[in-house]
A and B are shown apart, each in its own frame.
Chain A
Amino acid sequence: MKQYQLSTGEKKFIGSHLLVAILALAVGSLFGPLQAFEHAGWDFYPYLKPFIKSYYQGLTVHGVLNALVWTTFFIMGFLTFNVTFALKRPLKNPTLNKVGFWLMVVGVVAAAIPILANEATVLFTFYPPLKANWAFYVGLTLVVVGSWVEGWGLFMTFAGWRKENPNVRSPFVAFASILTALLWQICTLGVAVEILTMLLPWSLGLIEGVDPQLARTYFWFTGHPLVYFWLLPAYISWYAMLPKQAGNGKMFSDSLARLSFWIFLVLSTPLGFHHQYVDPGVPPVWKFIHSMLTFGVFFPSMMTAFTVVASLEHAGRKQGGKGALAWIGKLNWSDPSVAAQLLAGILFFFGGIGGLTNASYNVNLVLHNTAFIPGHFHLTVATAVTLSFMGISYWLLPYLTGRKLWNPKWAVAQAWTWFIGMIIFSNAMHIVGLLGAPRRVPLGLAPYVPAEWNSRLFQVGVGGAILFVSGALYLTVMLKTALNKEKVTEEVEVPMAEAMQDPALTPDWLDRWAPWIYGSLALIVLVYGPVLFDMIKNIALTSPGFRVW
């Protein structure tokens, strides 16, 4: 049976998302190893002075381009592909999606100019009263609004499909992609309000000051679900694509996969205070409530762990795998897309462990803003998400361009070097953080570094060096593939794993939107409403801006 065909225009549109994403990753990842080298005492920043004024300008470039631009563009492209391919229909209103995409592009350029001019060295959290040039805030706003507009285009497409197929179970991949886009619309309200009511008017000189505590609260309203916005597209691939690629396996449970996505929608926003446990202006009772909800949102990740591993085991057994663990070796490790995503998944186990520990209320006192935190999120967003996206691109780029993946062996090596480099880097960061090392510090120069940190800081540099090689390999493979003269003979097959049980047997309540959306909005109002009401009532715009870089 021939698979559903996307038009050339649609492929180009999705491909342009990939192009911007990979360009951002290329520039942003250049600075990651520079930070790591600095920790080890090999400081290259003095040589970059003509272009990059400080460690922190480099760190801002790294954070904004990798955590915000690479992820958002890749995700919007991937979701667009998922929705159109899984629903077997074109976008309802392609112009709307194009408008969204170009708004995002203009936003990135607008934010990049002040960053490169050293006028927005505020890191990717841009906590006021650090005050960036207004163009930085305008740029961020446009990226968010553009992603909303693209989301609306996807919703309209889904609604069009639903109208014509009222009693059919929605395909999992389309369902999960729409849910991810919806989660993003809800949670970005926080940062939109932060920028539009405080930071932008302040940077334009319309108001004198800001309220830093309120700004942090708005920011983390978006900041935690942002993590799920990054993660859910990787989950979609792990649930519904990877089992097929790994050995013709099936998705273990369609209904539980949907249930866990619903729980993510409901629970990933109303727990932002777990990033603010040690903030002075948030009452502990609300911090505690958010911590309990955080334990709640760990539950669907545990479900995901089961369903994904079981689906992979199904694939491994089909390939003749035996034993308790030996089946893992039978998975299709020679396929770079599979190797990358399996390795990403392995490190995500440890990312989950660190995340749960950080988020365990007072346990955060041991870890807050130590090097443990970047150690943790380099396992999650920089590996579980990024390495999975790299894995996806190993089939998606050939699919979109019709060009063969250039040198799959290099691509496999890329996945392994990322895995190994990240283990060394991240392990050292976690440990040095537990020893007390703060995050966001050029530790190679800090005056208070005790001798016991040194061996770990050296490992941070070694990990960074391996990751640098891996990043270069990835860009080489992508570039060589995009220019490859060798074409694929037939259109690349899109990996789609069937569910073991017919999705039509999935209960209807797992395919209805309204109750879940109302539920998640109600929960947000319940656990954010009272605190936000109080903070806004007592707002004190007393902090003028500072440019201290």
Chain B
Amino acid sequence: MSAKNMHINVYERNWMIFSAIMLVLFATAVSVAAFGMGIQVPAPEQRVDPRTVATDPNSPWSNPGLREVSPGRYDAYILAHAIPNWEYLPKEITVPVGSRVSFYVTSSDVQHGFNIQNTNANFMVLPGQVSKLTITFKNPGTYNFICTEYCGVGHGVMYGAIIVTP
């Protein structure tokens, strides 16, 4: 077999160059948001035993809820469960506007999701894993958090709310 050169039409070559540049620009924009603005995806936080996470007294999820760690900074431990009735514990959290809240969410049964409406807090919740993201509530109002992964017939009623007071 002889070596042959690839024949590329000039229009197509320019299109390929343009495509490559465009994709590089998108990748750059994404990187700037991730590494420059701190808009990151969840990282491995902690592993837990889903069979005991809700009952073990040493587990923060045996007493889920909001803890103030310093003025205006909170940790929210939230347990998602399908059994018995598809809900988050706690169902409601109240924080003052401007609060920075770290969400630590896990499941004691099946996979769930956690999406605080109109925010960047949107992640999977898996049994055995702890999902964490931190966001700041800049505006007062009610922010529903909704289950975004199928977790059984009650999936569609599984939600809670964050009340951000002025």
Contacts and interface: CB of A to CB of B under 8 A. Distances in A.
A548 B149 CA distance: 13
A530 interface: no
Given A129-B109, A255-B6, A362-B41, A213 B153 contact: no
A292 B41 contact: no
A546 B110 contact: yes
A338 B14 CA distance: 29
A356 to B, nearest CB: 7
B166 interface: no
A114 B161 CA distance: 37
B128 A213 contact: yes
Contact of B124 (A256, A280, A298, A548): A280
A251 to B, nearest CB: 12
B132 to A, nearest CB: 7
Interface string A266-308: 0000000000111111111001100110011011001100110
Nearest to A437: B146
Given A302-B16, A363-B30, A366-B122, A508 B115 contact: no
Interface residues of B, number: 69
Given A256-B12, A280-B44, A507-B5, A362 B30 contact: yes
A548 B109 contact: yes
Interface string B141-166: 00010111111111111010000000
A506 B4 contact: yes
A507 B6 contact: yes
A253 B12 contact: yes
Interface residues of A, number: 75
Contacts of A253: 7-9, 12
Interface string A326-345: 00000000000000000000
B51 interface: yes
A130 to B, nearest CB: 6
Interface stretch (B19-27, B58-66, B70-78): B19-27
Nearest to B82: A548
A169 to B, nearest CB: 10
A368 B133 CA distance: 14
Contacts of A445: 156-157
A299 B39 contact: no
Contacts, number: 218
Interface in A248-264: 252-253, 255-256, 259
B155 A440 contact: yes
B126 interface: yes
A201 interface: no
Interface stretch (A386-394, A410-418, A537-545): A537-545
Contact of A442 (B39, B41, B147, B156): B156
B120 A540 contact: no
A547 B91 CA distance: 24
Q: Is the interface of B mostly helix, strand, loop or mixed?
A: loop
B4 A298 contact: no
Given A283-B44, A295-B26, A501-B7, A440 B128 contact: no
Contact of B34 (A255, A356, A362): A362
Given A212-B111, A212-B127, A280-B123, A288 B148 contact: no
A303 B16 contact: yes
Given A279-B42, A440-B149, A442-B156, A542 B51 contact: yes
A523 interface: no
B30 A360 contact: yes
A284 B41 contact: yes
Contact of A213 (B7, B39, B126): B126
A120 to B, nearest CB: 13
Given A280-B130, A299-B16, A508-B1, 20 more contacts: A130-B110, A212-B127, A253-B8, A278-B41, A281-B126, A283-B44, A284-B43, A291-B30, A296-B23, A310-B9, A362-B34, A365-B121, A368-B113, A368-B115, A369-B149, A436-B146, A438-B146, A447-B159, A506-B4, A510-B6
6 contacts: A129-B109, A253-B7, A361-B34, A368-B113, A508-B4, A542-B128
Interface of B: 1-9, 11-12, 15-16, 19-20, 23-24, 26-27, 30, 33-34, 39-45, 47, 49-51, 82-83, 109-111, 113, 115, 117-118, 120-132, 144, 146-157, 159
Please name the 6 residue pairs, one residue from A and one from B, whose CB atoms are nearest each other, closest first.
Answer: A548-B152, A369-B148, A302-B19, A278-B123, A280-B131, A280-B129
